[in-house]
Amino acid sequence: MSGPDPGGLVLDGVSAAYRGTPVLHEVDLTVDRGELLVVLGPSGAGKSTVLRVVAGLEPVTGGRVRIAGRDVTGSRPGRRNVSMVFQSYALFPHLSVAENIAFGLEVRDVPRRTARERARAAAESVGCAALLDRRPGQLSGGERQRVALARALVREPDVFLLDEPLSNLDLALRVEMRAELRALHDRLGATMVHVTHDQTEALVLADRIAVLRDGRVEQVGTPDEIWRTPATRFVARFVGSPAMNLLPADGPVRPRGDSPPGALVTDTGRLEIGFRPEAVTLDAADGAPATVDRVEVVGEDAYAYLTLAGGEPVVARVPAVRRPHRDDSVRVGVRWADTHVFHAATGLRYRP
């Protein structure tokens, strides 16, 4: 159960369904005031539904939603004081940029002059003041994104909701915009919930990350916690590219972390050992024999895709200048300080 935060957002056991099919299952999330929480997960995980439930665009089938200390579970969208930035930007094509930004104020009966002044201030804060007289059709993707952010900002909401706002941008612009988005958050001290399927985006932007899978929260933690101590096999594999290697435990294995010295895992076949490609060495004197299937060079790094003698696949990251070649025989070693142990049946992290 999530505890209330009078300045932030709380989802307490929230469930939701779409056309009778459950989409969220008793989701507990707390976003502190001024925090940037990233909801990360694959397509169909329920990420956008979390935002729509908070915004009041989807009803809940169970649980409560609280914003700034107020229970808004049954409140209409207009009474929740949230702003949402959609993946498609959702700008009105027949209105100018200034009119798009000010629209939410004018429908609230804010005087037109005041609304336009606030729209200009919001546009200046996100770097699109020079575009105020243009129409959305005259803007690039990055410019439309800035306008959408300004429109959300002008309402001075308790919570900003951002639904994959960078996914339609090319890579260079996406990198630029995520840096600007983080800077905007820090400047405003705003409470934000940002949805993405992009792990790099999540790791760079977030104060904390909530990893969602099939409508359930797998783990909530700082980017460092998600990376270094994944709570489940799914989190371990989803965060990281290439994905974490996983092998069945075969004999005694020393777990990583704060386990007692000498503690061994002996549940052969019931556990799995995880290790990232950067933890693999290819010249260990007592390493496991493997064959190189292919090698991918990415700048100064190379990724060697291997097959162990038993048929298990392993990926290693090595310096490109020291990369092996296809069909080479290597001896695979692993830095055991960088390994993770999971229960094979449940996927949960092994805690001795």
Calpha distance 61→49 (Å, rounded): 12
pLDDT at 177 (0 to 100): 87
Phi-psi group of 56: left, alpha or beta (phi > 0 → left; psi -120 to 50 → alpha; rest → beta): left
Average pLDDT, the chain: 89
3-class SS string, 139-207: CCHHHHHHHHHHHHHHCCCCEEEEECCCCCCCHHHHHHHHHHHHHHHHHHCCCEEEEECCHHHHHHHCC
pLDDT at 271 (0 to 100): 87
Residue type, 79: R
Give the distance, in angstroms, between the CA of residue 329 and the centroid of all CA atoms in the same chain: 38
pLDDT at 192 (0 to 100): 96
pLDDT in tens, 194-249: 999 999 999 999 999 999 999 999 999 999 999 999 999 999 999 999 999 999 87
- Go through the chain and tell me how many residues it has: 352
Domain at 242-343: CATH architecture = Beta Barrel (2.40)
pLDDT surpasses 80 at 258: no
Domains 9-236 and 242-343 share a fold: no
Q: Is 86 helix (H, G, I), strand (E, B) or coil?
A: coil
What is the mean pLDDT of the segment spanning 83-111? 87
Domain ranges of the chain: 9-236, 242-343
What is the reported pTM?
A: 0.88
pLDDT surpasses 90 at 1: no
pLDDT in tens, 123-141: 998 889 999 999 999 998 8
pLDDT at 17 (0 to 100): 95
Beta bridge partners of 339: 275
CA 207 to each of CA 10, 202, 344: distance values in angstroms, whole numbers, following the listed order: 16, 9, 30
Q: Which fold has domain 9-236?
A: Rossmann fold (3.40.50)
Give the H/E segment covering residue 116.
helix 112-125
